[in-house]
Structure 1
Amino acid sequence: MKSEANHQVNHESAVVPKSHAGSGKMVFQVMQNYQVTLLLFIVMFILTAILAPEFYNLQNMINVARQASITGVVAVGMTFVILTGGIDLSVGAILAVVGVTFATMIKQGIPVTGAILIALIIGVCGGLINGIGATFLGIQPFIMTLATMAAGNGVALLLTKGTPIDFKANSAMIELLGNGKIAGIPGPVLLFILSAVLAGIVLRYLPFGRFVYGIGGSLEAARLSGVRTTRILLAVYAVSGLSAALAGLMTTARLYVGHPTAGSFIMLDSIAAVVIGGTSLMGGRGSVAGTVAGVLLLAMVANLLNLLGVSPFNQQIAKGVIIVVAVLFTTQGLKQRIKQQWSGL
């Protein structure tokens, strides 16, 4: 078993490039690993230029980036969870609970800084509950986070009695979280960029990142090689909860409303972005760069369909097709699997 563990560690060292690797080599590796995502992005870029050239209006692109930023922040945290072979279905519920709690605190006169800190702590606690259930209690992440999702949605509705909570606040911090700009760049977009860059550095250059990949490759091998797997998994789910909480603050600050159902679709969109970006649902393979590409691809598709006047119902169908196509083309050994299953008919 020790040799298996050593093999796993060596494998993950190859998956996650060392910091001294050349930039050209790193770029080549990213293009090689995520060529399907890049190809889909290029195809969408060309189609958009032909079918809806108004998409490339600067203001429209800023609006698209702003809309994608909330999903993007959640997807960055989701990437950590999926890389370990887990899943987090509770991000939408955490987003909603954080949003209505933050709106309530601001309405009751709690200082903005304190309210933000409490909101982020709520998100981390929600993630830790998921992590404890998945590790100490041995509950499958899908079931554990499904239960947390149901409970969280109930809490959000209970706190608001099903009614959105609006508030007023003259705060530069809230303005930056929702509608403000720095050097012409919307605050939410900057938060998305910062979270993606920070997550990318952690996964690529820090031991924690290599441990995340190692657990996704083989939990038992990682444990036998000395990785504190329980601690890493708790941290991973805490990161996902923190990301959902930040997205909840961004959503609430944008409209100055805490809505109990604000996160209804964020879970599906974030998972879709991560998968489209090339991260394997089995764990051990993927990157934040791919997730960012997936987020932008989905945002581009949604905006293109809006510009073409496609109904929201057909947009959901198109999103489903894109997810299936992306997963099919990023699945290794697809041809062999089809031949194998065909022979079994």
Structure 2
Amino acid sequence: MSTQTRPGTGLNRLSLKLRNNWLSILILLVVVAAVAVMVPSFFQPSNMLNVGRQSAIVGIIAVGMTFVILTGGIDLSVGSILALSGVTTAMLINNGLIVPLAIIAGILVGVAAGIVNGIGVAVLKVQPFIMTLATMVAIQGLSLRFTDGGPKQFSNREPFFNFIGSGSFLGIPGPFIVFLLIAIAGILVLRYLAFGRYIYAIGGSMEAARLSGVRTTRTIVLAYSISGLCAGLAGVMTAARLGVGDPTAGSLSNLDAITAVVIGGTSLMGGIGGAVGTVFGAILLAILSNVMNLLGISPFDQQIVKGAVIVIAVLVAAKATVRRFKERRTDAPKAATSQHATIMVAPASESTPRHDEHPSTLVERTPFN
């Protein structure tokens, strides 16, 4: 049995990175160049640190969202999870629970919500959009119920809690450091762990992944759990920064996170993208928001601009999805005719595994960042 490689594998991988994974970096460089001309004050050290702080919350949520979108799903409930986790943390601190346990409880609330989403999608077979929309509404109701519709203040003198909210280390904002740590963890998981390969395999083809031995149900539940964990952590950090548990916090975090993921090159169809692009997508959104503040643009007009960015990001993702679907339809007949004759080692730019592959071989087929 012979093993062959298709010609142009290296070129295909480079082309895919330029089209998808590194598109956000290119956009970021263009925006920074334009900002350098229009708003020179943007590059003051204090403002740059502020941008890092602004990107942290959305960035953390977006890293978790990347896992879900890579499976072909979506999570609209992250904003509500953020609010509920913050409210839970604030109420537990007010009731005398020590701060470290309150932080853990707030994060676990997010994990529990993610598990509910994952079970609904993977076990009950509810469409991700509908399932997470339902949990978004329900969780938002819980937050408002627990707080009677108003924010819950709390007192805190815990150094670590202050650090993840508004502190700093060597001049670097604490929230941004947490964001970088979460991003590094996400990148490593998607690149080097079997779980990451399974995420890409499910996004490429659910049925092919299942026939290859991937435990699709467990993997999808874990993906939504990670999204809930990141949203819960973001909620705890938001409560630490504000000093209150706000049931209305994070109302647009889900849209911002999805936009960061899509700008970062992750396909809404699943199977293509990664956490590296998501990081730059989150930073790009923070830069846009910061620049508009420096230019004195009204908050209402900023919402219009953000809406336009979301539309553009979705249009770009839609074109990539259509192109990928056409490539699948073109490659399917070729794969069917050559399946019994020769085993072809596909380039890394193709993420859909064959039915006869073992999950351990999927690492060579996934389009990592």
How high is the TM-score relative to the length of structure 2?
0.81
Aligned to 1:343: none
Name which of 206, 212, 221 aligns with 1:219.
206
Aligned to 2:76: 89
Aligned to 1:197: 184
Cα pair distance change 1:327/1:35, threshold 3 Å: farther
Matched letter for residue 168 of structure 2: K
Cα pair distance change 1:333/1:281, threshold 3 Å: closer
Name which of 284, 295, 304 aligns with 1:297.
284
Aligned to 1:139: 126
CA–CA separation in structure 1 for the residues paired with 2:300 and 2:192 = 42
Give, in angstroms, the shift of residue 262 of structure 1.
Answer: 0.4
Corresponding position: 1:158 with 2:145: yes
Corresponding position: 1:111 with 2:82: no
Corresponding position: 1:275 with 2:275: no
State whether residues 76 and 136 of structure 2, in contact with CA within 8 Å, keep that contact through their aligned partners in structure 1: yes
Residues 102-149 of structure 1: CA distance to partner in whole angstroms, max 9, x if unpaired?
A: 001111110111111111111111000001111111111111110000
Residues 214-273 of structure 1: CA distance to partner in whole angstroms, max 9, x if unpaired?
A: 000100100000000001001000000000000001100001110000010111100111
Unaligned runs of 5+ in 2: 326-369
RMSD: 2.4
Matched letter for residue 46 of structure 2: Q
Cα pair distance change 1:115/1:335, threshold 3 Å: closer
Could you tell me the percent identity over the aligned residues?
52
Aligned to 2:357: none
Matched letter for residue 64 of structure 2: G
State whether residues 214 and 284 of structure 1, in contact with CA within 8 Å, keep that contact through their aligned partners in structure 2: yes
Worse overlay, 203-212 or 304-313: 304-313
How high is the TM-score relative to the length of structure 1?
0.87
State whether residues 36 and 42 of structure 2, in contact with CA within 8 Å, keep that contact through their aligned partners in structure 1: yes
* Secondary structure of residue in 1 paired with 2:320: coil
Corresponding position: 1:170 with 2:167: no
Residues 147-189 of structure 1: CA distance to partner in whole angstroms, max 9, x if unpaired?
A: 0000000000000001100111111121111011122211111
Cα pair distance change 1:336/1:131, threshold 3 Å: closer
Aligned to 1:73: 60
Give, in angstroms, the shift of residue 334 of structure 1.
Answer: 6.9
Aligned to 2:234: 247
State whether residues 36 and 326 of structure 1, in contact with CA within 8 Å, keep that contact through their aligned partners in structure 2: no
Corresponding position: 1:332 with 2:332: no
CA–CA separation in structure 2 for the residues paired with 1:309 and 1:236 = 39
* Secondary structure of residue in 1 paired with 2:250: coil
Give, in angstroms, the shift of residue 327 of structure 1.
Answer: 4.0
Cα pair distance change 1:74/1:231, threshold 3 Å: same
State whether residues 36 and 329 of structure 1, in contact with CA within 8 Å, keep that contact through their aligned partners in structure 2: no
Matched letter for residue 198 of structure 2: F
Q: How many residues align?
A: 317
Give, in angstroms, the shift of residue 322 of structure 1.
Answer: 2.5
CA–CA separation in structure 2 for the residues paired with 1:200 and 1:63 = 24
Corresponding position: 1:232 with 2:232: no
CA–CA separation in structure 2 for the residues paired with 1:157 and 1:327 = 31
